Structure 1
Amino acid sequence: TITAAFCPEGVSSAAVRDYILRRCNILITSGFGAYKNQVIRVGHMGGALDDNDILRLLDGLTAFKIEAVARAG
């Protein structure tokens, strides 16, 4: 099972992916084709992520958003 989400306008999926890998040690992927730079995908089939991983991922996404807003000014 995969959950996909669009990145906010002006934010690349690569930036989110790299940040989450560095901060949370969780690998997420980008979309395909036209959505490659706009979508992140999180695989969670068969226990790939447990509850603690999901919480770390959500914390990481929140931190990414806070830092992006702070940088934007």
Structure 2
Amino acid sequence: MIFLIILIFIIMALADFPKLIKDKRWYEVTILSGVYIFVFVLAALQTSGVTLPSPIKGLQSFITNVLHLTYPKQ
């Protein structure tokens, strides 16, 4: 299964990167590479059976503890 993920990411990279490199858009290449690496790692972990935490719980914690935003009490 990991082979399929690698193959899909290679196909996506071949569709996106050549034009960006040809146009010398290095900032976009850097950002897109970072996003691809992040998503690839998440996909590989998910495929390997690693239980990933919900991003919603982290977002809720950030909103309530850092931004101090909650529902109004009735």
Higher relative contact order (CA 8 A, sep 6+): 1
- TM-score band by shorter chain is 0.3 to 0.5
Judging by fraction of residues, say which structure has more strand: 1
TM-score, structure 2 normalization = 0.41
TM-score, structure 1 normalization = 0.41
Larger radius of gyration: 2
Judging by fraction of residues, say which structure has more helix: 2
